[in-house]
Structure 1
């Protein structure tokens, strides 16, 4: 069976078989987390980072919700990256983190490669932890009151893409070594997050807004359908 046809549990068992229980289990769960993270980021890019016309369309349909969606998706991805790059242990408890992969890797040569990739990922995602620590999970008082606190580190779509790519490279160091394969997580971006996501929403909104414009023009011409004024019980 091809690897892309395995269930999450089947993939975990395969990974444990070749990597060992600890490393295989951590790798498997991180893979699932990163796949979800790329899907969420793909939806953000589809809706808010591809064409200005899409943002205009969303704002025309539901401006308040659009802003909430944009902020929530952005902050969710930042928080997720911050979690995945946390120390392997904090407050006496272990964390699911790419840094846990270093401790779980027993082969010294491979460990050096993993450590190098992790260091790159920590550097690329530093802004996410700053945002998490001083704005999202905690609220820096000086920043909140705008009274001269240290500014948050810059955060852009390019930085987010770079941070995600650095996370994928950590996992691919291991998969290339043990499975002789890598995962193209960026595929989610190419296909806009997949069916049933942001693009589906955009097409439905566009159709609905165009239909509403036709109804408005018809009413101006004296053509009126009583059903048009009835709201459905959604």
Structure 2
């Protein structure tokens, strides 16, 4: 029987204490969303060239918009979750928020080191967030000898996500004797389902075109050519 998010949170609070359990639970949910967004990106745009060709042939402009949106959302997530715990009078929910909530000195030291590694792995995403996604750097936009954006690749994103996962697992290993493999979580109604439907539709379209070329088309083939309102 699956537990609800609230039940998981209450269990975390029971094992970790109120402050740490609450922060950990919210970050766990956030990291889960990060990984699912990235899984969708990789599934659609990072699997093989044939899949890219399928998407381009189906609706190239639309899927390029989706690709850019998922990419920027992932970099924004990486930046946000490694922001300082507090900026001025404003508190942020980030992995840095965990440190003050940990009372065990040895665990605090391990988590602090893990957070430092994750923050370093996400530095490239922060440059993109600060100068391109959340703000439009003037010199960069006008190409006035601006410093280029930090190199960013799928490998860097994967390593950054794994480093963030390690932060949470450092805590859960110590206090729950458990870890989470976020990349192995199953997605329902995902991009993989869309790929299947597009492949099916493409095959049907090719079969229909062959029937038209041979003059053996059907009334249903003709009906498929008429615009429909949904």
Query: Could you say which TM-score interval applies, normalised by the shorter chain?
Result: over 0.9
Q: CA deviation at 1:156?
A: 0.3
2:16 equivalent among 19, 38, 48: 19
Is 1:35 aligned with 2:32? yes
* Superposition pairs of residues 68-217 of structure 1, within 5 angstroms: 68-188=65-185, 194-217=187-210
**Number of aligned residue pairs:** 227
Deviates most, 98-107 or 163-172: 98-107
User: Structure 1: which 5+ runs fail to align?
Assistant: none
**2: distance between equivalents of 1:138 and 1:153?**
15
* Per-residue CA distance 1:74-119 (angstroms, 9 max, x = gap): 0001101111000001131111100010111111111000100000
RMSD: 1.2
Q: Which residue of 2 aligns with 1:233?
A: 229
**1: distance between equivalents of 2:223 and 2:82?**
54
- Describe the SS at the equivalent of 1:62: helix
Normalised to the residue count of structure 2, the TM-score between the two structures is 0.95
2:51 equivalent among 51, 54, 62: 54
**2: distance between equivalents of 1:127 and 1:174?**
25
Normalised to the residue count of structure 1, the TM-score between the two structures is 0.94
User: Structure 2: which 5+ runs fail to align?
Assistant: none
Q: CA deviation at 1:222?
A: 1.8
Pick 1 or 2: higher relative contact order, CA cutoff 8 A, min separation 6: 1
**2: distance between equivalents of 1:115 and 1:229?**
61
Q: CA deviation at 1:66?
A: 1.1
**2: distance between equivalents of 1:21 and 1:217?**
66
